């Protein structure tokens, strides 16, 4: 790569090349050659769900958050897409925030690569970039132009693309202004010392208590103690601590040991491989959840154990564990109802299963897999209209269903397969 840039600049001398490199033009060419911009719309959909359903309600209710912006109008959510590549992540944020009822949300999107930014500003994409976007969402926000899709003016207005190098200091930019930062699949470009510097810049650019989302393979471990790890429904992200001395786990919550965390990762890998018996063996090695179950960690272990017991045919054990979680309400209760529905169906009690899937969808109306099962069982009971409605709802929701729920409740199907079942069934197919 360096050889190519030396040749392009008519020199074989690295010293001379470093002189050339101070020009904007050569820095841009080097950035384009070195950076990889793989990205697509709604990548890791669970992050967008956590942002709109968990993070923003908390942010907007915070008493110390400024109520109005520089123009005197209400200050809507402010999100930074850092390493935005060709813009798909930034526009996905704009779409999700607008759909969640935040028309005054503003996204700032930065990248070092000017070619990627030009593409982002053009806002013109192929269907490959849109591969996981539901057709209805696509129609609402992008206009088709031949083989391409062009973002609509409302999205354009919501996003401000700027060229910035994350590795360079810029005190005018890195000051508190954002509720959340998405910096996914970018830190891996940097050496550990630069990573730590970049994370310090993020801490400086977040409002107090703001949030940071990293790619699924990235972590702040060993890089920063300014953030605390958060978890919602199996999705991990970070929150800027109000006080740097604050412990990683919230007060009153039991944190898992490193060995337990590793065992749990192993359990999930075994579930992915559909080796449920082996997964049950490993989960039994993890310290038993406290009773009553409170912390996100204990909830996760108890629920996964219940799912595995159901797979192993221990329906009484699975039912007992799931019932303990019902009182928690919301998404936890919805997951517990899903386990109970599975147990009922294994006992050939379709009516009981239908009632539990209905309760799951009521406890968490965004639970796509619950709607899918409601569709399937409604059709079995002859309720064609109810089935149609449930499948349509499931199709819209499955896109942002968390990986964890697809894994635990998807019956061995991945997201695409579940979506395809919904589409086929909502056209009147039979199961």
Binding site for ligand SAM (CB under 6 A): 35-39, 43, 83, 85, 89, 111-113, 116, 165-167, 184-186, 189, 215
Beta carbon nearer to ligand SAM, 33 or 312: 33
Other Cβ atoms less than 10 A from the Cβ of 310: the count is 24
In angstroms, the Cα distances linking 9 to 129, 227, 407 are 34, 43, 51
Beta carbon nearer to ligand SAM, 26 or 260: 26
Beta carbon of residue 425, minimum distance to ligand SAM (angstroms, whole number): 31
Closest by CA to 256, choosing from 244, 267, 246, 248, is 248
Beta carbon of residue 51, minimum distance to ligand SAM (angstroms, whole number): 14
HEC-encoded secondary structure of 351-389: HHHHHHHHHHHHHCCCCHHHHHHHHHHHHHCCCHHHHHH
Rounded to whole angstroms, how far apart are CA atoms 190 and 136?
A: 38
Beta carbon of residue 253, minimum distance to ligand SAM (angstroms, whole number): 30
- E runs forming strands in 127-223: 142-145, 148-151, 159-163, 178-183, 206-214
Helix (H) or strand (E) holding 290: none
Beta carbon nearer to ligand SAM, 171 or 252: 171
Beta carbon of residue 53, minimum distance to ligand SAM (angstroms, whole number): 20
Beta carbon nearer to ligand SAM, 215 or 255: 215
Beta carbon of residue 112, minimum distance to ligand SAM (angstroms, whole number): 4
Q: At what angle do helices 350-363 and 368-380 cross, to 10 degrees?
A: 150
C-alpha neighbours within 13 Å on the C-beta side of residue 114? 7
Beta carbon of residue 339, minimum distance to ligand SAM (angstroms, whole number): 33
Beta carbon nearer to ligand SAM, 124 or 423: 124
Beta carbon of residue 217, minimum distance to ligand SAM (angstroms, whole number): 11
Beta carbon nearer to ligand SAM, 185 or 331: 185
Say how many residues make up the chain.
431
Do residues 340 and 322 make contact, with C-beta atoms less than 8 angstroms apart?
Answer: yes
Beta carbon nearer to ligand SAM, 112 or 240: 112
């Amino acid at each position: 790569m360096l050889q190519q840039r030396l040749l392009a600049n008519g020199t074989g001398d690295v010293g001379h090349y470093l002189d050339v490199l101070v020009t904007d033009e050569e820095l841009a060419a080097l950035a384009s050659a070195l950076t990889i911009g793989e990205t697509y719309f709604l990548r890791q959909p669970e992050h967008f769900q956590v942002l709109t359903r968990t993070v923003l309600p908390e942010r907007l209710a915070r008493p110390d958050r400024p109520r109005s912006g520089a123009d005197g109008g209400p200050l809507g959510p402010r999100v930074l897409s850092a390493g935005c590549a060709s813009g798909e992540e930034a526009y996905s944020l704009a779409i999700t925030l607008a759909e969640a009822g935040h028309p005054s949300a503003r996204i700032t999107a930065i990248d070092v690569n000017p070619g990627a930014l030009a593409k982002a500003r053009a806002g013109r994409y192929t269907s490959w970039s849109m591969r996981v976007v539901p057709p209805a969402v696509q129609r609402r926000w992008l206009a088709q132009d031949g083989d391409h899709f062009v973002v609509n003016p409302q999205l354009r207005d919501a996003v401000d693309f700027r060229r910035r190098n994350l590795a360079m200091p810029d005190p005018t930019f890195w000051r508190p202004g954002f509720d959340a930062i998405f910096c996914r699949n970018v830190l891996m470009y940097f050496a550990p010392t630069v990573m730590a510097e970049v994370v310090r810049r993020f801490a400086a650019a977040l409002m107090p208590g703001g949030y940071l989302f990293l790619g699924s393979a990235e972590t702040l471990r060993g890089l920063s103690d300014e953030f605390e790890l958060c978890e919602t429904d199996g999705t991990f992200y970070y929150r800027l601590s109000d006080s740097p001395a604050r412990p990683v786990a919230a007060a009153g919550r039991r944190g898992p040991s490193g060995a337990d965390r590793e065992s749990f990762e192993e359990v999930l890998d075994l579930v992915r491989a559909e080796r449920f018996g082996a997964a049950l063996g490993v989960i039994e090695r993890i310290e038993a959840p406290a009773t009553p179950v409170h912390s996100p960690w204990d909830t996760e272990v108890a629920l996964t154990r219940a799912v595995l017991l159901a797979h192993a045919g221990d329906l009484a054990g699975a039912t007992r564990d799931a019932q303990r979680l019902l009182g928690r309400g919301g998404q936890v209760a919805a997951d517990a109802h899903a386990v109970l529905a599975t147990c009922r169906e294994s006992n050939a009690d379709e009516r009981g299963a239908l009632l539990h899937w209905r309760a799951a969808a009521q406890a968490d109306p965004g639970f796509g897999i619950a709607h899918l099962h409601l569709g399937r069982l409604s059709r079995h009971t002859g309720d064609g209209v109810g089935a149609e409605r449930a499948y349509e709802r499931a199709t819209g929701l499955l896109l942002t269903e968390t990986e964890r729920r697809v894994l635990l409740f998807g019956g061995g199907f991945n997201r695409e397969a579940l979506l395809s079942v919904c589409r086929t069934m909502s056209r009147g197919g039979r199961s």
